[in-house]
Chain A
Amino acid sequence: MLIMDQVSMRYPATGGGAGDVLALDRLSFRVEQGEFIVIIGPSGCGKTSLLEVIGGFRRATGGRIEIDGEEINGPHQDIGVVFQEDSTFPWLSAEQNIEFSLKHRGVPASDRPTRTAEMVRLVGLDGFEKHRPSQLSGGMRQRVALGRALAPQPKLLLMDEPFGALDEQSRLGLGDELLRVWRATGCTIVFITHSLSEAAMLADRVVVLAARPGRVLDIIPNPAGAGRSSERIGTPEFSEMTAVLWNLLKSQVKCGKRDA
Chain B
Amino acid sequence: MMGYSTKVVATRTLLFVAAAAALEIVPRVGVGTQLEIIPFSEMLHGVWAITSSGELWPHLGTSLLSIGSAFLTATVLGVAIGYALWRLPRIYAAVSPYLVSYYAIPIFAFYPILVVMFGANRIPIYLLAAGWAVVAVVVSTVEGLAHLRQSWEKVADTYHLSWWDRALSVHLPAAWPQIAMGMRLAATYSILGVIASEFILSGEGLGHMVNHHYNSFTFREMWGGIVTVFAVGITLDVLVRRMTRGLESER
Q: Residues of A with Cβ closer than 8 Å to B?
A: 55-57, 75, 77, 79-81, 83, 85-87, 89, 91-92, 100-101, 104-105, 148-149
Contact = CB atoms under 8 A, between A and B. Distances in A.
Contacts of B150: 85
A231 B242 CA distance: 51
Given A91-B251, A104-B165, A81 B152 contact: no
A81 B158 contact: yes
A115 to B, nearest CB: 15
A57 B157 contact: yes
A75 B158 contact: yes
A85 B151 contact: yes
Contacts of B169: 100, 104
Given A75-B158, A83-B155, A89-B173, 11 more contacts: A75-B157, A81-B154, A86-B149, A87-B151, A89-B152, A89-B155, A89-B170, A101-B159, A104-B161, A104-B165, A148-B155
Contacts of A75: 157-160
Contact of B174 (A77, A86, A91, A148): A91
B162 to A, nearest CB: 10
Contacts of B155: 81, 83, 87, 89, 148
Given A85-B149, A87-B151, A79 B176 contact: no
Q: From DSSP, what is the main secondary structure of chain A's interface residues?
A: loop
Nearest to A101: B159
B152 A91 contact: no
Contacts, number: 51
B248 interface: yes
Q: Tell me which of A55, A80, A81, A148 has the highest count of chain B C-beta atoms within 10 A of its own C-beta.
A: A81
Contact of B159 (A85, A91, A104): A104
Contact of A83 (B154, B159, B160, B170): B154
B51 to A, nearest CB: 42
Contacts of B173: 89, 91-92
Contacts of A104: 159-161, 165, 169
B154 A92 contact: no
Contact of B154 (A77, A87, A91, A148): A87
Interface in B161-190: 161, 165, 169-170, 173-174, 176
20 contacts: A57-B157, A75-B158, A81-B154, A81-B155, A83-B151, A85-B149, A85-B151, A87-B152, A87-B154, A89-B155, A89-B170, A91-B173, A91-B174, A91-B248, A91-B251, A92-B251, A100-B159, A100-B169, A104-B161, A105-B159
5 smallest A-B Cβ distances: which pairs? Answer: A87-B151, A91-B251, A104-B159, A91-B173, A85-B151
A56 B165 CA distance: 20
Interface string B126-167: 000000000000000000000001111011011111000100
A79 B151 contact: no
B158 A55 contact: yes
Contacts of A77: 160
A235 B152 CA distance: 40
A28 to B, nearest CB: 25
Nearest to A104: B159
Contacts of B170: 89
Contacts of B154: 55, 57, 81, 83, 87
A105 B159 CA distance: 7
Nearest to A132: B251
A149 B170 CA distance: 16
A85 B150 CA distance: 9
A1 to B, nearest CB: 19
A83 B170 CA distance: 17
A130 to B, nearest CB: 11
Nearest to B251: A91
A91 B177 CA distance: 10
A87 B165 CA distance: 17
Nearest to A148: B155
A100 B173 CA distance: 13
Nearest to B247: A91
Contacts of B165: 104
Contacts of A148: 155
Contacts of A89: 152, 155, 170, 173-174
Nearest to B173: A91
